[in-house]
Amino acid sequence: MDTHLLIDCLLVVISIIMLWKGADWLVDSAAEIAHSLKISDLVVGLTVVAFGTSAPEFAVTISAALTGQTDISIGNVIGSNIFNLGFILGGTAIIRPIATNSKLFNRDGFFLLITTALIFLLFFGVNGWTPDDKYTKLEGLLLFSLLIGYIGFLFIKKDPPEEVKPSTADLKSYIYFFVGLIMIVSGGHLMVKHASSVAHAMGVSDWVIAVTIVAAGTSAPEFATSVSAAIKGRHGIAIGNLIGSDLFNLLGVLGLAGMLNPTAISPDIFNSVFLLVLMVGITLLMIRTNWRIGRLEGTILVTINLVRWYFDFAA
């Protein structure tokens, strides 16, 4: 075996270890910090954990926006959100069913649905797409302002922690949190880079690599964190991480990208944005049904994403 290929394979293995160990530390320390701040796992998952695990999408999208690569800038956010709700939420539920609650449904789920529908209207309007349509700085500022308002609301109206423990977070908890966060973000980057090199060596095309390895790699932090949290019974962090990550992507990443570099809207992304609105609606129904997302619902979400991939390849 070629030495470079062997090193790439070894680094892929190392990246997987970094992802899972980092997620393990992140979930445990986030739960301790949540309790010490007298807020719920869900709020921590929706904010601090979600912001950290959205870092890869943030880096890719902002870089693409600054260089004028509009399709990548917007497409990465929309594609990542579909991946989060399809493969990651669905895959996590298949591994371990996720308990939900009315606050997640009424507050956070509906806010995500309204946000996604708003972006659909901003991009395509009531009368559909026209060649003159642009995503403006004002629209980007509106989205970013909504994110600031939402985060402020969560911390002002903070939920109490799910359980009461005598101990609170100490300096070690915060160190483990940031080390865990750095490990999962770095692990995701390593996975994308070296798994792509392995795929190239095996003759896989750039397009296939982009919609599989890159998509999965930039979402690997969310997947590792949500699965680890679900296994530990920290359902608030498990699903809050994904809902929060989608909100950070749509409002924070896309909002900032629009403020930095207004872009023309391509009609090619219509189907993806429409699918995202549909998937958010389906996820809301699943959250409400028996207040849990079970293995059957998880299988449906994964299947929707697989069908979407099939049509992407067939196009």
What are 7's two structure tokens?
A: 């090193």
With a CB cutoff of 8 Å and minimum separation 6, the contacts of 179 are 22, 25
Q: Can you tell me the distance from the alpha carbon of 276 to that of 82, in angstroms, rounded to the nearest whole number?
A: 6
Q: Can you tell me the distance from the alpha carbon of 115 to that of 253, in angstroms, rounded to the nearest whole number?
A: 13
Which amino acid is located at 231 in the chain? I
pLDDT tens-digit readout, 99-156:
999 999 999 999 999 999 999 998 887 666 666 667 788 999 999 999 999 999 998 8
What structural domains and CATH numbers belong to the chain? 3-314 (1.20.1420.30)
Q: Can you tell me the distance from the alpha carbon of 117 to that of 7, in angstroms, rounded to the nearest whole number?
A: 45
Candidates 109, 114, 120; CA nearest to 78 is: 120
- What 3-state DSSP class applies to 134? strand
Question: Which residue's structure tokens are 């798994």?
Answer: 195
**pLDDT given for residue 211 in this prediction:** 57
Q: Can you tell me the distance from the alpha carbon of 310 to that of 312, in angstroms, rounded to the nearest whole number?
A: 5
Going by the DSSP 8-state scheme, the letter that residue 299 receives in this structure is H
Candidates 97, 100, 68, 62; CA nearest to 248 is: 62
What are 143's two structure tokens?
A: 């989205």
Give yes or no for a contact between 83 and 217, defined as CB atoms under 8 angstroms apart: no
Neighbours of 268 (CB within 10 A): 10
pLDDT tens track of the chain, all 315 residues? 578 888 888 988 888 888 888 888 888 888 788 778 788 888 888 987 888 778 777 776 777 777 766 666 677 788 888 889 999 999 999 999 999 999 999 999 999 999 999 999 988 876 666 666 677 889 999 999 999 999 999 988 877 776 655 556 788 889 998 898 888 878 877 877 787 787 778 776 655 565 566 666 677 788 888 988 898 888 988 999 999 999 998 999 889 888 888 777 777 778 888 999 999 999 999 999 999 999 999 999 999 988 887 776 665
Q: Can you tell me the distance from the alpha carbon of 53 to that of 221, in angstroms, rounded to the nearest whole number?
A: 5
Q: Can you tell me the distance from the alpha carbon of 159 to that of 237, in angstroms, rounded to the nearest whole number?
A: 13
Q: How many Cα atoms occupy the beta-carbon half-sphere of 20 within 13 Å?
A: 6
Phi, psi of 99 (to 5 degrees): -75, 140
Give yes or no for a contact between 266 and 55, defined as CB atoms under 8 angstroms apart: no
Residue 315: exposed, middle, or buried by beta-carbon count in 10 A (0-12, 13-18, 19+)? exposed
